[in-house]
């Protein structure tokens, strides 16, 4: 989240009383990537990429795992270059 966006949201907070305001709309989503390795060669690769907002808004019950919505760019139209199908490469 940009400093400008956070500043604009912070200005909505009133310390002298309760207020009602709508949910924020961050400009864009993003991806967090983490990789780590130890001296024994143990490695981990973690990608968290929810796309816009906080993903699909669906959390798997009992897990706290939020489902992503990166698939929004795919199409169900079989004539589209972005049709959902296996075997594709960038």
Residues taking part in catalysis:
31
51 exposed, middle or buried (CB, 10 Å; 0-12, 13-18, 19+)? middle
Angle at 54 between CA 35 and CA 60, to 5 degrees: 85
Three-state DSSP class for residue 8: helix
Do the Cβ atoms of 48 and 70 come closer than 8 Å?
no
């Amino acid at each position: 989240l940009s400093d400008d966006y956070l500043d604009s949201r912070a200005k909505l907070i009133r310390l002298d009383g309760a207020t009602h305001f709508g949910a924020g709309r961050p400009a864009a989503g993003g991806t967090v990537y983490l990789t780590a390795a130890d001296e024994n060669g143990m490695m981990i690769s973690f990608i968290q990429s929810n796309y816009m907002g906080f993903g699909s808004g669906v959390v798997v019950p009992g897990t706290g795992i939020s489902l992503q919505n990166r698939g929004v760019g795919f199409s169900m139209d079989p004539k589209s270059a972005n049709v959902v199908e296996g075997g594709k490469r960038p």
